[in-house]
Amino acid sequence: MATDPRRITDGGLETDLIFHRGRDLPEFAAFPLLDDEPGRGLLRDYYTDYVALAARAQVPLLLETPTWRANPDWGVRVGYDDVALGRVNRDAVDFLRGLDTSGVPHVEVGGVVGPRGDGYVPGAAVDPDEAAAYHRPQLQAFRDAGATRATALTLTDVGEAIGVARAGADLGIPVGIGFTVETDGRLPGGTTLAEAVERVDADTPPDYFLVNCAHPEHVERGLDDGLWRLRVGGLRVNASTLSHAELDESTELDDGDPLQLATDHARLVDLLPAVRVVGGCCGTDVRHVAALWGQDVNR
């Protein structure tokens, strides 16, 4: 991944769908939209914005599936058993591969894995072997459908991250391991980014690491001068400077200022020179991602 050209990925899918496109997402799960045509239409419109941005900027595009919640613990809450989850994870890859990406210099489709738990609130320590067995079916569904990589987002536990990395290595699908941090730059349980990256790398090195669902200022507070920073190959930042707890309690979208976000993001990228994948997370939409790439922020 370190030698790849920089590429665009999308923004805050779920917050965009809820606040900009008026679609309720029970359990914050976007993947059920794949199972009806109106839902597919919403997803198609959402991803098409990023296809157009990548074509305009003439930058490679990483399309990532809307499957952050498509695992057994969350799937059952919205009516999906293991069989249905396997199908919808494969369908998600097929859906993205079927989009019209004319004009984009290079397109890659990757699958998104989410945490088994909350994603923002740390729980009991996760056993890596258990996590590997748990996440393997989703990763296998992506691989079998033709995804060329996978990304795990908003992980808070190093054991779960190791498990995802082990499952990906066993299946032969490259994996990006994404941690989220609080306003102090540490994982929600207090682990530093340096420790998290180094512990995963010592067990099963993933393709690269990324940080998501945090404002650039929060991420910057978690950096030191260690060489581990060269393993951070992606950023998907929040538009808001609020904490996860404050965002959870908010009834209105805090989408910040796209141009200010781009300024803050540029400062962070200077400290993380290996970053190759650039997109957004909660509160961001195509305006913010466009700003990160120096493009017109109008939708």
- Cα 128–143–114 angle (5° rounding)? 45
Asked if pLDDT for residue 3 goes beyond 60, the answer is no
Predicted confidence at residue 252, as pLDDT, reads 80
Per residue in 84-125, pLDDT tens?
999 999 999 999 999 999 999 999 999 999 999 987 777 788
Over range 10-26, report the average pLDDT. 96
Asked if pLDDT for residue 198 goes beyond 90, the answer is yes
DSSP annotation string for 86-130: HHHHHHHHHHHHTS--TT-S-EEEEEEE--SS-SSS--SPPPHHH
Output 201-206 pairs: Cβ under 8 A, ≥24 positions apart: 201/228, 201/231, 203/128, 203/162, 203/165, 203/166, 204/162, 204/165, 204/166, 204/169, 205/165, 206/164, 206/165, 206/168, 206/174, 206/175, 206/176, 206/177
Predicted confidence at residue 149, as pLDDT, reads 98
Q: What's the mean per-residue pLDDT of the chain?
A: 95
Predicted confidence at residue 2, as pLDDT, reads 42
Q: Are strands 175-179 and 208-212 parallel, antiparallel or unpaired?
A: parallel
**Percentage of the chain lying above the pLDDT 90 cut:** 89
User: Range with the lowest mean pLDDT among 45-54, 113-122, 261-270?
Assistant: 113-122
In the CATH hierarchy, which fold is given to the domain comprising 7-179+233-243+260-292? TIM Barrel (3.20.20)
Predicted confidence at residue 299, as pLDDT, reads 60
Over range 260-273, report the average pLDDT. 97
What does the domain layout of the chain look like in residue ranges? 7-179+233-243+260-292
Predicted confidence at residue 4, as pLDDT, reads 57
Predicted confidence at residue 1, as pLDDT, reads 46
Rg of the chain over all Cα atoms, to the nearest angstrom = 17
